[in-house]
Chains A and B, each alone.
Chain A
Amino acid sequence: MTDTAGWQRLIAEQGLELLERWEQGGLEPAEAYRLLVLLGRVEQLPVRAPELEALRDRAARANVTPRLAEKVSLPEGSELLEELSQALEAGDGPEALHTILLDVDDLATALDLLGNNARAVELARRAADQVAKATGLAVPLSGWAEGRLATMTSRSAAVALWKQVAGERALLGRHVVFISHSLQPLLRQAASASWTLEPVSGSGFELFESEGRLVLWLEVPAGSPRPQAIELRLRVGAREGAWSYRASHVEKGGIYVDLGAPEELRQRAVQTLGALPAANEPLEVIAWLTSGEGDDPVPST
């Protein structure tokens, strides 16, 4: 359920406070831009709310919108799109990505209010295209995006952007990539009291130690949905077991997985397999990545 009333309340409270200060001649440029965005959001609403009607009427009587337009320096759409590109490619956290998406939304909303609908729609469309190309990165924001869509009419300029983000939810649970690496030397070393890890690397993975913990870096092919979970599956002959980790950090081209202390990894392997493999037994270690949430089970295709 979406709290559109909370959204309207935010607009009304902040809008009235800023409008009163505007009428007293006291808004700084950033505040003037904020008021412009809030007035634009009033126009987007699909329903009429009395407190927002009052805000709109009061602003119209004072001819606020064109006067605000003279006061503010609108952000450059191209700069916002570049910042969005940075946030998407860097795999920044959902809150930072959300913030820049809202910056784009704000500008589209302000442009729309000022009669520049074509520029506003184009900005939102280009931002939506970027989200689509960064498959899966905006999945955590899809619920919020559905809520935002409920606060605007279908004619609002920012619709394309939030429809794209809301649609990202469809990517959840998709099996993305299958990677197989032999981590047998690692497990054998981990069982040793005098264990020290030499960094291990191979095609598409690196294994290193950081602050007493084992860290696995796995390459993720460009264009894959953002992995959120990893399952480590061990197999020795007929014995097989698996457990899951969260992908703790995503950066360009790969993810980091914190495997814990060496002893924890060894104990998990022992619990899963019953015993560590004998020296002459081949141990297969497979990492499965999914774009599913948390510890969702990984499809065994």
Chain B
Amino acid sequence: MPKADEEKGAPRMALPIRTPWERYAHVLRHLYDPAERWDLIISGLPMPLRPRAIEAGCDAADVRNPRSARFNDAGAACKQHVLTDHDRFYSPAYLDSVASAIRLRRHQLQPANGATLYVGDNGVLTVVGGEKEDAGYVTSAFRVKPRGVPSHAVRQEDFIRAAVDRMKELTVLGPQGGRGEGP
């Protein structure tokens, strides 16, 4: 756990997403979204991810349309498969993003809720909670989709740029905007 005397929002190593149902939801929504192109940054990622999850026992409708997915309704085999994908592929990628973002000084405090946003050299935008039970835990991690370019032509550099741009925009306005850290 983070030390209590650490400055609020100060960059620090993060802990994985806290609960299994949040891990399940984020894997379905982000890691399994083909448009987020996690294959560009995770070597050995078994593709395609969605058919693989369906084969492992997940409901096809839930996998293709994660908004309707409910953790409680998923079968044990599906949960195990998705949570294993979290541990093997998703969490190493987002934790690596935090670590490299600290080295690159590419992180910003979100003044509205004390969270810190990180964009590492893999272009994953990772959010680490700053308050209460979320403090120090990753609360979200996703790849910002570059726009203005067909998905087949998108480059890893486009993902990094899109994530950095969004991180700055998300933290620059608002009630206490402009108090971000990093570049």
Contact = CB atoms under 8 A, between A and B. Distances in A.
* Same complex origin of A and B: yes
Interface of A: 1-7, 10, 14, 28-34, 36, 72-75, 85-86, 89-90, 92-96, 98-99, 102-103, 106-107, 140, 143-144, 146-148, 151, 206, 208, 210-211, 215, 217, 246, 248-249, 251-254, 256, 258, 294
Given A251-B25, A252-B67, 13 more contacts: A1-B176, A3-B178, A29-B148, A33-B147, A73-B150, A75-B148, A96-B30, A144-B177, A147-B174, A148-B173, A206-B72, A210-B20, A215-B19
A147 B173 contact: yes
Contacts of A106: 147
B106 interface: no
Interface stretch (B4-12, B46-54, B90-98, B157-165): B157-165
B29 A29 contact: no
Contact of B155 (A28, A36, A86, A217): A28
Contact of A29 (B115, B149, B162, B170): B149
Contact of A249 (B22, B30, B110, B177): B22
Where chain A touches its partner, the secondary structure class is: helix
A46 B65 CA distance: 40
24 contacts: A3-B172, A4-B173, A7-B172, A10-B168, A28-B157, A28-B158, A29-B148, A32-B148, A33-B149, A36-B148, A74-B148, A89-B68, A90-B29, A93-B127, A94-B113, A102-B166, A151-B173, A208-B72, A215-B19, A249-B21, A253-B70, A256-B19, A256-B21, A294-B131
A98 B148 contact: no
Contacts of A36: 148
Contacts of B29: 86, 90, 92, 96
Q: How large is the interface on B (under 10, 10 to 19, 20 to 34, 35 or more residues)?
A: 35 or more
A107 B174 CA distance: 21
A293 B132 CA distance: 12
Given A143-B112, A246-B133, A93 B174 contact: no
Contacts of A258: 19, 133
Contacts of B68: 89, 252
B165 A86 contact: no
Contacts of A96: 29-30, 140, 142
Given A29-B153, A90-B67, A102-B166, A95 B19 contact: no
Nearest to B167: A95
Nearest to B178: A3
Given A103-B147, A252-B67, A10 B172 contact: yes
B139 interface: yes
A211 B145 CA distance: 34
B178 A5 contact: yes
Interface string B1-36: 000000000000000001111100100011000000
A86 B29 CA distance: 9
Nearest to A248: B19
Contact of B170 (A28, A32, A73, A98): A98
Nearest to A245: B133
Given A2-B177, A99-B166, A34 B20 contact: no
A153 B84 CA distance: 49
B169 interface: yes
Contacts of B165: 14, 34
A206 B71 CA distance: 12
Residue in A6, A102, A217 with the greatest tally of chain B CB atoms within 10 Å: A6
Given A1-B175, A6-B173, A249-B25, A144 B112 contact: yes
Contacts of A73: 148-150
Interface string B72-94: 10000000000000000000000
Q: Which 7 A-B pairs have the closest CB atoms?
A: A33-B148, A3-B178, A147-B173, A93-B140, A3-B177, A90-B67, A6-B178
B67 A95 contact: no
A107 B148 CA distance: 9
Contacts of B176: 1
A256 B166 CA distance: 29
B117 interface: yes
B117 A95 contact: yes
B69 interface: yes
